[in-house]
Structure 1
Amino acid sequence: MSDEVEPGRVRVRLDLGYDGRDFSGWAVQRGRRTVQGEVQDALRVVTRSAEPLELTVAGRTDAGVHARGQVAHVDLPAEVWEAHGEHLLRRLAGRLPHDVRVWRVRRAPAHFDARFSAVWRRYCYRVTDHPGGADPLQRGHVLWHNWPLDADAMNEAARRLLGEHDFAAYCKKREGATTIRRLLDLRWERRPDGVLEATVRADAFCHNMVRALVGAMLFVGDGHRPPSWPGEVLAAGVRDSAVHVVRPHGLTLEEVGYPADDELPARNAAARRLRTLTRCA
């Protein structure tokens, strides 16, 4: 598959954020409100495009999941970019609903692909164990866990999950897709207001992976399982009924990382290869 943009078109990168509570996820679905659908419709209107415009995204978030650092690209006719490019950001702000915002619009470098060029994605999951519940002003972004949580125990469990593994035990399997991922960062920190934040960074994620990992670590944090348990589930390679996929509203896509421009072709090629484990982990 070529990364070259068709002649007469310009690849445009969009950086965006959204509150996911009223969306049925990122991807367009007939009869449902989605982030992709809203942004594509807004782009078509503000550019007066006679043809459909399709966005490619770094990571398809599920229903109810938020984003602050989502990245997408779209290929526009060169004449449309020339006529509207410098005005797109402000015009999108006037057209989009208030729960989705585009923060930056720019011409992408050669070979840039929002999905395949990404080298990592960073999510944050937020939880409160306050006995009174979640702050009403944060309730749409923070999960309430009605048990005291031990952050040290959860961090001990998290360290056992780092590295490249087959995360089949923490993913919803999809036909023809691999569940091998490299988990680069997984740690918990308690903010001054008591909210616990899990930073989860990997080269890519499979379906439900972050929410399943968080669910397993919460079981450790509240004392129902020892810190060794999430690693044992990972090694077993099958879904454990005790691993709960936590609710989506605590999850936010914070940032997507990309390599230097001259490394984009090699990254795209590597991302498209079906991965296998090359060593025991």
Structure 2
Amino acid sequence: MRYALGVEYDGGGFLGWQRLSKPGSDDESTVQSVLERALSFVANAPVETVCAGRTDAGVHAQCQVVHFDSGARRDPRGWMLGATSRLPASVCVRWCQPVADDFHARFSARARRYRYAILNRAVRPALGRQYLSWERLPLDADAMHRAAQSLLGEHDFSAFRTVHCQAPHARRNLQAIAVRRDGEQVIVTVQANAFLHHMVRNIVGSLLLVGRGEQPEDWMAQLLAGRDRTVAGPTAPPDGLVFVSPLYPPQWRLPAEVTLGADHTAPSL
């Protein structure tokens, strides 16, 4: 039987999603390793997982989708509660449901969504600091939003790709991006069919230069066309980044938060 899980985690104490050691080890440094150990306990047999999109060290997830196969007879509630009881406090399984054998957490997804939160004030945060980046200089969120719109569509995003990215090419379809101010916070939300390594953080790092008035709004379009990572902005810190969720076609009958709307293909962010 194949199951899909919705997993929430605080990535601050992990080296990212991807397991760094062999399956079944006592490694607690990655989200995948602790989740597989918890599921294996419930199944009383080894379990390996596949996720919708790997997150980097320090990056959080609101609803990471994972699939795994198991011959153990457990109902969805048993998988959800049993696994959560064996996970550290920073990780939980929010839901579990059986899926068809041809469902794939990564390849069945049609889009991924991220949110990046920046506290924009003179003093660094004390409360909620693990979920916020910080910028002390005033930011023009409207200018950042206008500049970001030049990234919409399918392009070569080499200018926003880390040198360590292992993707075979840099073409991605950025479906939606928005920057808005909410009190002292500036929120960047972005949706694409897929993302390159550090792509969101590199986009945010460049948008910060626009927001501070150090670069004009059309600079983002110039970066995109130039495809040169060395002239773009710095990589923004991981703290403010949350992987909101992947999105799947309705045919998989997954919870609404990870399902594309019936009347549109790119839900508003």
The answer to whether the superposition gives a TM-score over 0.5 is: yes
* C-alpha distance in structure 2 between counterparts of 1:175 and 1:22, whole Å: 24
Code of the residue aligned with 1:101 in structure 2: it is C
1:102 and 2:93 equivalent?
yes
Alignment counterpart, residue 200 of structure 2, candidates 183, 199, 210: 210
Identify the residue that residue 264 of structure 2 maps to in structure 1. none
- Root mean square deviation, CA, Å: 1.6
Which residue matches 1:142?
A: 132
Q: 2-side partners of 1:182 and 1:176: how far apart?
A: 14
Aligned to 2:239: 249
Equivalent pair of 2:117/2:185 in contact (CA under 8 Å): yes
Answering whether residue 212 of structure 2 is matched by residue 222 of structure 1, we say yes
Give SS of 2:229's match: coil
Contact 1:187 1:199 survives alignment (8 Å): yes
Find the aligned partners of 1:114 and 1:91 in 2 and give their Cα distance: 21
User: C-alpha separation between the residues in 2 aligned to 1:43 and 1:175?
Assistant: 29
Contact 2:12-2:58 at 8 Å conserved across structures: yes
| CA-to-aligned-CA distance 1:138-168 (integer Å, 9 cap, x gap) | 1101111121000111011111111100001
Higher CA-based Rg: 1
2:50 equivalent to 1:56: yes
1:121-142 deviation per Cα after TM superposition (whole angstroms, max 9, x unaligned) = 11000001111222x1111011
Deviation at 1:226, TM superposition (A): 0.4
Gaps of 5+ in 1: 1-9, 264-281
Identity of aligned residues (%): 38
> Given the alignment, which residue of 42, 46, 70 partners 1:46?
42
Match of 1:188 among 175, 179, 194: 179
Other-structure match for 2:65: 71
Segments of structure 2 that go 5 or more residues without pairing to the other structure are 22-26, 254-269
Number of aligned residues: 247
Change (3 A) 1:33 1:233: same
- Residue identity in the other structure for 1:48: N
Change (3 A) 1:99 1:133: same
State the TM-score, normalizing by the size of structure 1.
0.84
Give how far 1:110 is off. 4.4
Deviation at 1:188, TM superposition (A): 0.8
1:47, 1:84 within 8 Å by CA — same for their partners in 2?
Answer: no
2:93 aligns to what SS in structure 1?
A: strand
Q: Counterparts of 2:95 and 2:232 in 1: how far apart (Å)?
A: 42
TM-score (norm 2): 0.88
Inter-CA distance 167–176: structure 2 relative to 1 (3 Å threshold):
closer
